[in-house]
Amino acid sequence: MGKTYRPWNPNQQWLLPPSVQDWLPENDMVYFILDTVNELDISAITQKYEQESRGRGKQAENEYRTRNGE
């Protein structure tokens, strides 16, 4: 089972304010950062992250113990 990331949607409706666009100007730097981050190739990072057993629950812990003879 792969790891999951919490999605963030800048169009998400909030209680106060109703949406991010209501309080961020159209030319705010955050939109540039979002576009830039979406273009990054983070496959090397996610590949390493997928190999770690931290955060995957009991199944991963059991797999780790089995592989390491514990």
Q: How would you write the pLDDT of the chain (70 residues) with one tens digit per residue? A: 677 777 778 787 766 667 778 888 999 999 999 999 999 999 998 888 777 767 665 566 667 677 777 6
Q: Are 13 and 19 in contact (CB under 8 A)?
A: yes
Domain-wise residue ranges, the chain: 25-52
Query: Is the whole-model pTM more than 0.85?
Result: no
3-state secondary structure of 13: strand
Rounded to whole angstroms, how far apart are CA atoms 53 and 51?
A: 7
